[in-house]
């Protein structure tokens, strides 16, 4: 059976690279599902969850925006400022970052960069959603 090669790349290196059966990601115009032999295209991504299937397993990656490139040879490349595997997300840190950003939003208007605080909340929510999806539908999360 044909496979996709999925590479998730950030400025810090390759976050994920493997052969998978299916990829789903949030493009700027909606959710995009990619199977082997998909037509080539390039688009921008929203902050959101990338899911991929490999065999009977589904896994998740929190992607903080970026770009998607699907090449003619069934290679899917995600270029993002930041991406985290759901299994490696520190839930407590994500919750604290969300609380910190919400606290900034509650300050007086002249002292806060609202757009930045809202984006930080959105990133934290995506991280938490990735963990939740992994616990519900994925391979599970190792309890520490």
For residues 75 and 97, membership in a common domain is answered with: no
Rg of the chain's alpha carbons, rounded to an integer? 16
Dihedrals phi, psi of 133, to nearest 5 degrees: -60, -40
Best CA proximity match to 137, nearest among 60, 84, 83 = 60
- Whether the full predicted model's pTM is greater than 0.85, yes or no, is no
- The pLDDT assigned to 111 comes to 55
| Residues 117 and 62 sit within 8 Å (Cβ to Cβ) | no
Q: pLDDT tens across 47-93, in order? A: 999 999 999 999 999 999 999 999 999 999 999 999 999 988 888 88
For residues 105 and 75, membership in a common domain is answered with: no
- The pLDDT assigned to 49 comes to 94
* pLDDT > 90: percent of the chain: 57
For residues 99 and 129, membership in a common domain is answered with: yes
For residues 82 and 94, membership in a common domain is answered with: no
Domain count of the chain? 2
């Amino acid at each position: 059976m044909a496979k996709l090669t999925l590479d998730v790349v950030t400025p810090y290196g390759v976050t994920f690279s493997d052969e998978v059966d299916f990829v789903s990601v949030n493009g700027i115009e909606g959710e995009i599902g990619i199977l082997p032999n998909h037509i080539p295209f390039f688009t921008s991504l929203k902050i959101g969850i990338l899911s991929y299937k490999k065999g009977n397993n589904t896994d998740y990656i929190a992607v903080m925006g970026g770009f998607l490139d699907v090449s003619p040879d069934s290679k899917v490349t995600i270029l993002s400022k930041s991406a985290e595997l759901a299994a490696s997300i520190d839930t407590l840190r994500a919750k604290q970052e969300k609380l910190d950003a919400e606290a900034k939003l509650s300050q007086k208007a002249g002292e806060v960069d609202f757009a930045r605080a809202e984006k930080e909340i959105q990133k934290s929510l995506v991280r938490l959603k990735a963990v939740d999806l992994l616990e519900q539908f994925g391979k599970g999360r190792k309890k520490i």
